Amino acid sequence: MPQVAIFMGSKSDESTVRPCADVLEKLGISCTFTITSAHRTPERTSRLIKELEEDGVQVFICAAGLAAHLAGAVAAKTVRPVLGIPISASSLGGWDALLATVQMPPGFPVGTLALDKVGARNAAWLAAQILALHDPELTKRILEERRKMIEQVEEDAKTL
């Protein structure tokens, strides 16, 4: 059963969002990764939220570019945490998606991460930290991955 759902607004977002699924996989967190759009497929989006909540999904991650309403539309339909990844898919360089994702009205928050692949990776880390609140084994895995990153910095520093 998936613990995390990753929604992206279009197939064209896939390569940017894929690192989110990769980080979740590395941490041993089951996820479902799919395409749905608040604009193009509003009924599918609503249905997926309902079905995935019933399946036990704890955190929703939504990635979209342009007028990125997907995360906000999901936040309107669930009280489980919603994390947003703005995608730079226009000549505005992602400012459109960033502002659309971050500027939610009070009471309906979207935890907004950085743009593009960095945000995709950090959405997974943050989802993991949320799940780890009630999962000591996952806490250990996160700390182990952090230890590897610390070691890598120290190794890299030696090569300079």
Ligand X SMILES: Nc1c(C(=O)O)ncn1[C@@H]1O[C@H](COP(=O)(O)O)[C@@H](O)[C@H]1O
- List the binding residues for substrate: 10, 13, 40
Query: What is the strand order of the sheet 4-8 is part of?
Result: 31-35, 4-8, 59-65, 82-87, 111-112
Which of 23, 2, 12, 78 is closest to 45 using CA atoms?
78
In the list 4, 87, 115, 127, the residue contacting ligand X (rule: CB under 6 A) is 87
Rounded to a whole number of angstroms, the minimum distance from the CB of residue 42 to ligand X is: 8
Angular region, 31: left φ>0, alpha ψ -120 to 50, beta rest: beta
Which of 155, 138, 159, 156 is closest to 4 using CA atoms?
138
| Stretch in the footprint of ligand X (CB under 6 A) among 37-45, 48-56, 74-82, 106-114 | 37-45
- Residue 94 as a binder of ligand X (CB under 6 A): the answer is no
- Residue 69 as a binder of ligand X (CB under 6 A): the answer is yes
- Residue 82 as a binder of ligand X (CB under 6 A): the answer is no
Rounded to a whole number of angstroms, the minimum distance from the CB of residue 128 to ligand X is: 23
In order, the DSSP letters of 33-44 are EEE--TTT-HHH
- Residue 89 as a binder of ligand X (CB under 6 A): the answer is yes
User: Which positions touch ligand X (CB under 6 A)?
Assistant: 9-10, 12-13, 37-40, 64-70, 87, 89
